[in-house]
A and B are shown apart, each in its own frame.
Chain A
Amino acid sequence: MRRNIEVSGKNLEEVLERASRYFEVAKEELGYEILAETRGFLGILSPKMIRVKVWMEDDEENTAKKASLPHEDNKGRPQAPVKKSNRQEPRRNARQSQPGKEIREQKEVNPEELSMSREELRNFFEGLATRMNLDVEFHIRDNGRKILLDIDGKDAGILIGKHGETMEAIETLLKTFLIKRGHFGIGLEVDISGYRDRRIDTLTRLAKRMADRVVEENKRLKLEPMSARERRIIHTTLKNHAQVTTYSVGSDPERRVVIDLKNARRRHKKPNRQRRK
């Protein structure tokens, strides 16, 4: 079976290296086809890009060859960028000091790769928004590790969806897109009209209110199903609470937080008490 990915990078060498990491086979095992060579948006600022379709014939032979993957190769640094990219010099050290190889392990992502994936995301999302016929504005920035996509505008509400459902979906989709394009290890966070912060607020307040209720009524409470990220907010909010403890039950997407009293013994006590009477 043939497996394809589309990878973009500065030059063919780099692209193939990235692809070989992805497929976990040696570069020599890969087939490729150059789809496009483009100059980035901002001329001087963004480097030339090349998009390549890379594939691997997925058979046992190749799996066996995985072993021969050069693990520690510092030999084949992508040195020579493809023709006529004569403004390589200003783009200094970044490349030499952190070869593309280690992107996955590194917390700091290669700035060039970041700006490249930002560009690709921009195009993709722009297309999506237009296709959806939505009146939104967005801007993309990054903090050195993650890409942050902020969306705003008249139709932002549609993109948030119920409890941020649509927003999460967009995030999932865009993340998949990034991986497909060969940008691994780049985080992405989508935010719409400051929804995330507001949601954190709401959840924090909810957590506290519910904790009070648990203490007051002396019974545990199950919250609504939430995403992992939202559950975490509840857990962290109540982590240092003197009287209650939290845990989760069920499985996604129905997993929900339970708030309970810290030493909740009443379940066993109750019948006893009744018997004594």
Chain B
Amino acid sequence: MVKALVDNPEQVSVSEVEGEQSVIYEVRVAADDMGKVIGKQGRIARAIRTIVKAACVKGGKKAVVEILE
């Protein structure tokens, strides 16, 4: 999902850290693409978080998305 938004998709990686009640997704993107992923006033980042959260409703786990360079 994130890949479609950035300039350097080959540099995007997502890792999952699974806890007992939650999953942490660490999204790494190229430095240049940080702005693209976060968006104006964090709009895109917020959208991503909301959607990921929704996706996890079914799995019954909480999801946290962290965006790293």
Contacts and interface: CB of A to CB of B under 8 A. Distances in A.
B47 A169 contact: yes
A158 B53 CA distance: 10
B55 A134 contact: yes
B50 A180 contact: no
A245 B48 CA distance: 37
Interface size class of B (residues with CB under 8 A): 20 to 34
Given A128-B1, A180-B5, A166 B58 contact: no
Contacts of A128: 1, 51
B8 A4 contact: yes
A180 B2 CA distance: 12
Contact of B51 (A124, A133, A173): A173
Contact of A161 (B32, B46, B54): B54
User: Which of B7, B54, B57 has the most CB atoms of chain A within a 10 A radius of its CB?
Assistant: B54
A59 B32 CA distance: 15
A226 interface: no
Interface in A145-201: 155, 158-159, 161, 165-166, 168-170, 172-173, 176-177, 180
Contacts of A173: 1, 5, 44, 47-48, 51
B8 A158 contact: no
Interface residues of A, number: 27
Contacts of B5: 173, 176-177, 180
A3 interface: yes
Contacts of B49: 169
The A interface is mostly helix, strand or loop, or mixed, namely helix
Given A169-B47, A170-B51, A172-B44, A177 B4 contact: yes
B39 A161 contact: no
Given A133-B55, A133-B58, A173-B44, A166 B4 contact: no
A170 B5 CA distance: 13
Nearest to B4: A177
B43 A172 contact: yes
A19 B21 CA distance: 45
A161 B47 CA distance: 12
B47 A155 contact: no
B54 A159 contact: yes
Interface string B40-69: 000110111111011101110000000000
A3 B7 CA distance: 7
Interface of B: 1, 4-5, 7-8, 32, 36, 39, 43-44, 46-51, 53-55, 57-59
26 contacts: A2-B7, A3-B32, A4-B7, A4-B8, A127-B1, A128-B51, A131-B1, A132-B58, A158-B54, A158-B55, A158-B58, A161-B54, A166-B51, A168-B47, A168-B50, A169-B48, A169-B49, A169-B54, A170-B47, A172-B39, A172-B46, A173-B48, A176-B39, A177-B5, A180-B4, A180-B5
Interface of A: 1-5, 55, 124, 127-128, 131-134, 155, 158-159, 161, 165-166, 168-170, 172-173, 176-177, 180
Given A159-B54, A173-B44, A176-B39, 5 more contacts: A2-B32, A128-B51, A134-B58, A168-B47, A173-B1
